[in-house]
Amino acid sequence: MKKIVLSMLVASIGLVAAEGTVPYKSGLLLPPQADKIYEKECAHCHGKDGKATSFAGSSRVSYAVIAGMDAATVAKELKEYRGGEKSNDYRLHNKYGYGSIMRSATKDLSWEEIDAVAKYVSGLK
């Protein structure tokens, strides 16, 4: 039995090592990794460079260009989408109508992670 458990442990360590990096997961009390958070939560709409304004081929979908925005402004807006400092400070929609999408992207982020992402976005050019 010990040999089976040991071989499973070695195999799982090998799989993690083969992947190269351990994926970042919000809430693990690790230092915020803004680039990974942005890639996971933001890039599919705003683009890797923060300049995407729509899905390819769709004129009905539009997004804000966020590259280079002021970090304090981005942090404030993201915190409002997440739920703000108070639970009733939840922002339903933005001017594009995507409040629920923004809420789902920010709901698991800590304040420190939001601040890190805001700083990352302000550095996009």
Q: Where are the domains of the chain?
A: 27-123
pLDDT for residue 67 is more than 80: yes
Who contacts 90 (Cβ-Cβ below 8 Å, separation ≥6)? 80, 81, 83, 84, 103
**Per-residue pLDDT reduced to its tens digit, 37-62:** 999 999 988 989 999 877 666 667 77
CATH architecture of structural domain 27-123: Orthogonal Bundle (1.10)
Tell me the CA distances in angstroms from 101 to 13, 28, 48, 92, one per residue in order: 35, 23, 18, 10
Is 96 in contact with 52 (CB distance < 8 Å)?
Answer: no
pLDDT score, position 82: 82
